[in-house]
Amino acid sequence: MNMLTYLARMIPKELDYVCEAIPEFSTRYAKWSITKIKRGRRLGAVCFSSQQMEINVEYYNTMDPETRKQLRQTLVHELAHLAQYMTGGRNHDRVWKSWMRSLGVPNPRACVKRGEMSPHIANMVEKHSRQRDKIVGICAGCGHKVMRTRRLPKNKQYTHKQCGGGLIRPV
């Protein structure tokens, strides 16, 4: 879907503000689209090379009021990056923060704290961090634990690079 159309529907006030502050804004981003990140831990992102604003479908697949509110907050966060791109600055610097404040976010931060997430999104994030922490192998030589998101394929032997010991899979 066209990004500006989507933003006009989801965060009309904020989009209007940026379009008035930067007259070339809508021309600059006219061709951008909204796409969905299918996995990963980010809530949203902007990609300048592919001209896309991305949102994480897994996090926003439940549209309870709190999650919807958080989706709008994420869109404002990304909108501030688009504005920042045209006025200088990078990452979550002063320029980005100043755009966030103009868009009604008094204390802008790069990351959303657990306690401020909607219960649905907090659950998803929790699920991801559990996945991240899985032990997939233990070195028979030194006892080192290999952590991965996914299990190691069964039909292959693995060794611990640092000591040469064979990896034992946990049952």
Taking the complex as a whole, the smallest distance from the CB of residue 63 to Zn ion amounts, in Å, to 23
The residue range among 57-65, 66-74, 113-121, 141-149 that interacts with Zn ion, by the rule CB under 5 A, is 141-149
Q: 86 near 22, Cβ under 8 Å?
A: yes
Candidates 34, 79, 139, 167: give the one binding Zn ion (CB under 5 A): 139
CB-based contacts of 78: which residues, under 8 Å, 6+ apart? 44, 45, 46, 53
Q: Residue 41, interface with Zn ion (CB under 5 A)?
A: no
Residues forming a β-bridge with 128: none
Q: Residue 142, interface with Zn ion (CB under 5 A)?
A: yes
Q: Residue 141, interface with Zn ion (CB under 5 A)?
A: yes
**9/161 with CB nearer Zn ion:** 161
Q: 40 near 108, Cβ under 8 Å?
A: no
Tell me the C-alpha distance between 44 and 59, whole Å: 10
Q: Residue 163, interface with Zn ion (CB under 5 A)?
A: yes
Helix (H, G, I), strand (E, B) or coil at 101: helix
> Residues interacting with Zn ion, by CB under 5 A?
139, 141-142, 144, 160, 163, 165
